[in-house]
Structure 1
Amino acid sequence: MEPGNLTGVSEFLLLGLSEELKLEPFIFGLFLSMCLITVFGNLLIILAVSSDSHLHTPMYFFLSNLSFVDICSTSTTIPKMLLNIQTQSKGITYEGCITQMYFFVLFVMLDIFLLTVMAYDRFVAICHPLNYRVVMNPRLCALLVLVSWILSALDSLLQSLMVLQLSFCTYLEIPHFFCELNQMVQLACSDTFLNDMVTYFVAVLLAGGPFAGILYSYFKIVSSIRGISSAQGKYKAFSTCASHLSVVSLFYCTGLGVYLSSAATHSSHSSATASVMYTVVTPMLNPFIYCLRNKDMERALKKFFGMAGIKGPIVIRLEKCP
């Protein structure tokens, strides 16, 4: 069929990660498992932070927000993919595709901003420890999260409105497991020069800018740590930001790897497979990174499960009372 311009697009086709039907049960089980681990792992972090007063600090406040965003990000893409595999259908409505793209861009940008805010928090804690409580006060923490949401929502709205201005051809197959922004733009029949320029400008401003801020924060952190005389003091200072540094490295390295691999291979399916790393694997690993070798989180989780275990028998005894 020759491609032709359509004024009203009804639906797109998500081709997924593989065209082989034999692999679909394996892919379904794998992604269902990763989705459940991501949701329950990040939910545990939120519950642990909210239930333990010792974790009511800026660092864990930002961490709980990051966990919430990771849950939302995974819930935006994976359920539709699992539904398509289960129903043997690849279709997604035009409105559903735009909605999925909007929320995916929103939560990815929120990840970037929250990781930047957390880097600033570690910068203040290590480089200006005496002023930490004054600088990172609850009002500023709430303001930083609010600004992150506003900027992310505006960027996502701009990208979605730009896509809504495009007209699409009859070839509406997206070689991905979700409605990815670049893949949708590539399907357009109309001129996409303005979309490409806006995407590159936003990437430099809203992704490159925060990344530069993270690099500057850690440059100052490393300089401060080097100035500490005792080895124990250096280890203690570095351990407070080791988890965050691991998450930042994982997020940016996998995201950068996706675009480098897609540019090198020019294969859409290779890009879709590589994007699994930062869209699914990174949110899944965040709870493990922040919980392992983190004594505060371990204590909070033990306390949380201990409280849950204690409440059970109490309820049973009350029910037996006359």
Structure 2
Amino acid sequence: MRPIQARISVGAMAHNLRVARSHAGTACVFAVVKANAYGHGLSRALRALAAADGFAVLTLEEAANLRLMGVEKPILLLEGIFGADEIATCAELDLWPVLHHAAHLDWLQQQPPARPLQVFLKFDSGMHRLGFPLADHAAVVARVRSLPGVAGITLMTHFAQADEAAGVDWQLQPFLREMAGHDLTWSSANSAALLRYPETLGAWVRPGIMLYGASPFAEVSAEQLGLRPAMTLQSEIISVQTLQPGEGVGYGQLFRAERAMRVGVVACGYADGYPRHALTSTPVLVNGCVSRTLGRVSMDMLCVDLSECANAGVGTPVVLWGEGLPVDAVAAAAGTSSYELLCALAARVPVEEVA
């Protein structure tokens, strides 16, 4: 069999949830498991994150799958509903939709659910993506409170720069100031805010990327945060080539040797989820030896430098990211984020679940 494999640790995810819980204080924890649990497998993540107080997903289909898997805890629909016909399903499955635009309120008024819903009412505090304008808060809250189809309200916002120097105050303080008179619980903290800004905790926190062992911060490693990598993408060297000075390797010959050198060809490419735009010097781990990629990533293969890995040859194991090589480091070198790398794991890559 082709040697590529993703090893996914349920123990690491459970550990990372405990780290999240240690920062959450009295707040309840929604484990964000959208996008197939960031590429880690929904059913696998549910077992690993069973101690969460609830789960957050994107679509009604994901939420329905959770209920079919036996989840009885709260399920939050992060993008809300996409049509009035979904209201009845939310009531049937006891889902908590995020309401973020006027049509949601119109639908609830026109087609009230058989059983009133717990809703999260989202306000735009500056990210300018989803949410009612903060300036409209009084009218919006009053209208939602008047709807017979609403059983309870949690106020909500989302931070644009919790992982950057700008921080959260420029959004958090206006949000809290405007919402202070409503006497309602609130939710604002993603992974970065949960780890760095305890004033954002509210009633519910919503950690995502940290549960899978990646850092939300460019300048702080996952290890420094006490997180463990949940996914290790690994393969093997399947061929060794020797380049002479001036010779190139791969499509476009983007890398040319300055001296005689050995090059390992690894069974992993962009069709497996490795980023095609990762150019020369993206880190890899060759049998525990830190090395680098060379040239352009192919659909099924990539090349690595064996100059400092004297004993490497065909069959030598290679870690593309995970244990011993943080996914954040690979993402930074490739000019992308750990979110993209983890979510892009291809269906053709075999997965082994480990403790």
* Shared fold per TM-score greater than 0.5: no
More helix by share: 1
TM bin (shorter chain): under 0.3
More strand by share: 2
The TM-score with structure 2 as length reference comes to: 0.22
Which structure ranks higher in relative contact order (CA pairs < 8 Å, sequence separation ≥ 6)? 1
The TM-score with structure 1 as length reference comes to: 0.24
